[in-house]
């Protein structure tokens, strides 16, 4: 019963976080918003001292798209991480570790310099290429060990980061600044346009993953165990890998590289709910979104300047990864 309560708490967690995030921040205070809300709901005559256009602009044009985008990006990365962990039977993988992020980053940077190339498409294609490379490099004798998958992910990440550097080197200074800002993982230039460009890929990917969430339980049993119950593990892996890559690359194309969120969130969710993907997948989405929103709200309201949110998550996620690796039960055996 306790678990049930926890599950639903995770599902609805984004609601209060969205609310808090909307009212926090410079330029418009929570007090002003509250007064505005009271005024509007009681149909009081407008107070001349309050600039309602500013309020509306800050709330509607600045904060709301950013809040929604953050929610979607965090949710997509965590849901993709959860799915990748189940399908590779490897609790240490994530979009970042498998090279998916680096591939998507390279694709998106390429699209910045080549005008006719759609950013979302380029990010998706190179992200898929990167994961496929990591997987096939790690595969020996039809098995993929936990550690070799991580190592090949490191190599693939390195290759795509190097390619990204070449793109940066060849591009003009104005575009370079865009690319550098964006690779750090940033949500501060969120807009309705950006939200729109990412929403389709994320929505299709996450809904697809949601439908296939129980299949992930079957896949997590292993290849022979999957084949024995009548499913082809190779096909099933693709059916999960494609939507996971779609969701994560769409998020990365719009928000840049937000490191290790996709690793840490599914772990925290599993610690709370157990490993059943029927529950961890939706909870990873909502908790990942809420978590990134909390981090982003802090990063824009704590200091005078904005720390790129990707830097934040990597600083938090790095120690977490080391903790998982050191914990005896994960990793080194085969």
Partner 1 sequence: MGSVETALDIQGLSFGYGDRPILTDVSVQIPAGKLTVLLGRNGSGKSTLLRLLAGLLPVKHGRITLMGHDMHRLSAAEKARIIGFMPQQHRAVFPFAVEDVVLTGRAGHVRLLPRREDMEKALQALEQVGISHLQGRPFTELSGGEQQMVMIARVLAQEPQIVMLDEPTSHLDFINQARLLTLIRQLVSTPLTVLVVLHDPNSAFLYGDHFIFLKNGRIELLESGESPWDRCVLERIYDTPMHTLPYGDRAIVVPQDPAGR
Gap between the Cα atoms of 287 and 297, Å rounded: 15
CB of 226 to partner 1, least distance (A): 7
Binding segment for partner 1 (CB under 8 A), chosen from 103-111, 165-173, 184-192, 219-227, is: 219-227
Q: What share of the chain is helix, strand, coil (3-state, %, to 5)?
A: 75, 0, 25
CB of 230 to partner 1, least distance (A): 3
Question: How many positions of this chain bind partner 1 (CB under 8 A)?
Answer: 29
302 vs 334 by CB, closer to partner 1: 334
66 vs 215 by CB, closer to partner 1: 215
61 vs 225 by CB, closer to partner 1: 225
Place of tokens 């690319």: 179
CA dist list (Å): 127 to 74, 104, 153, 188, 253: 17, 5, 12, 24, 10
With b meaning 16 or more CB within 10 Å and e meaning fewer, what string describes 279-300? bbbbbbbbbbbbbbbbbbbebb
CB of 68 to partner 1, least distance (A): 28
HSE-up of 114 (CA within 13 Å, CB side)?
15
Answer for the pair 283, 7: CB distance below 8 angstroms, yes or no.
yes
Residue choice 4, 12, 162, 211 for contact with partner 1 (CB under 8 A): 211
**What does the block give as tokens for 238?**
């693709």
Answer for the pair 211, 173: CB distance below 8 angstroms, yes or no.
no
CB of 211 to partner 1, least distance (A): 6
Among positions 220-239, residues that touch partner 1 (CB under 8 A) are 220-222, 224-232
Angle at 79 (CA atoms; ends 221, 193), nearest 5 degrees:
155
Burial of 268 by CB count in 10 Å (0-12 exposed, 13-18 middle, 19+ buried)?
Answer: middle
Binding segment for partner 1 (CB under 8 A), chosen from 21-29, 126-134, 208-216, 253-261, is: 208-216
CB of 88 to partner 1, least distance (A): 9
Binding segment for partner 1 (CB under 8 A), chosen from 158-166, 183-191, 205-213, 299-307, is: 205-213
143 in contact with partner 1 (CB under 8 A): no
Closest CA to 245 of 193, 288, 289, 208: 208
Gap between the Cα atoms of 254 and 242, Å rounded: 18
276 in contact with partner 1 (CB under 8 A): yes
CA dist list (Å): 196 to 69, 182, 192, 201, 236: 9, 18, 6, 10, 30
CB of 202 to partner 1, least distance (A): 20
CB of 72 to partner 1, least distance (A): 23
42 in contact with partner 1 (CB under 8 A): no
CB of 218 to partner 1, least distance (A): 5
Binding segment for partner 1 (CB under 8 A), chosen from 5-13, 37-45, 63-71, 270-278, is: 270-278
Answer for the pair 98, 134: CB distance below 8 angstroms, yes or no.
yes
269 in contact with partner 1 (CB under 8 A): no
CB of 318 to partner 1, least distance (A): 23
273 in contact with partner 1 (CB under 8 A): no
**What does the block give as tokens for 219?**
């896949």
Among positions 62-101, residues that touch partner 1 (CB under 8 A) are 86, 89-91
275 in contact with partner 1 (CB under 8 A): yes
> Contact residues for partner 1 (CB under 8 A)?
86, 89-91, 211-215, 217-218, 220-222, 224-232, 270, 274-276, 278, 334
């Amino acid at each position: 019963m306790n678990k049930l309560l926890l599950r639903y708490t995770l599902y609805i967690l984004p609601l209060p976080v969205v609310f808090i995030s909307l009212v926090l921040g410079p330029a418009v205070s929570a007090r002003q918003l509250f007064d505005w809300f009271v005024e509007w709901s009681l149909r009081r005559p407008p107070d001349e001292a309050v600039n309602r256009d500013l309020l509306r602009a800050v709330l509607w044009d600045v904060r709301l798209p950013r809040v929604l985008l953050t929610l979607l990006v965090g949710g997509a990365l965590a849901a993709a991480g959860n799915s990748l962990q189940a399908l590779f039977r490897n609790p240490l993988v994530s979009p970042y570790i498998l090279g998916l992020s680096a591939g998507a980053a390279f694709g998106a940077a390429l699209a910045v310099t080549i005008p006719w190339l759609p950013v979302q498409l380029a990010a998706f294609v190179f992200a898929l290429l990167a994961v496929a490379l990591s997987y096939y490099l790690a595969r020996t004798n039809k098995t993929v060990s936990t550690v070799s998958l991580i190592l090949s992910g490191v190599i693939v990440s390195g290759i795509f980061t190097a390619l990204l550097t070449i793109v940066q080197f060849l591009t003009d200074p104005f575009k370079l600044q865009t690319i550098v800002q964006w690779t750090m993982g940033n949500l501060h230039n969120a807009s309705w346009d950006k939200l729109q460009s990412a929403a389709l890929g994320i929505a299709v990917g996450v809904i697809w993953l949601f439908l296939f969430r129980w299949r992930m339980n079957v896949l997590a049993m292993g290849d022979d165990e999957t084949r024995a119950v009548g499913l082809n593990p190779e096909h099933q892996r693709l059916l999960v890998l494609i939507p996971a890559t779609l969701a994560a690359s769409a998020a990365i194309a719009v928000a840049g590289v937000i490191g290790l969120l996709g690793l840490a969130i599914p772990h925290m969710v599993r610690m709370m709910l157990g490993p059943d993907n029927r529950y961890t997948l939706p909870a990873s989405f909502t908790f990942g979104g809420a978590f990134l929103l909390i981090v982003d709200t802090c990063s824009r309201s704590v200091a005078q300047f904005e720390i790129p949110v990707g830097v934040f998550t990597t600083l938090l996620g790095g120690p977490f990864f080391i903790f998982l690796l050191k914990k005896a039960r994960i990793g080194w055996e085969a």
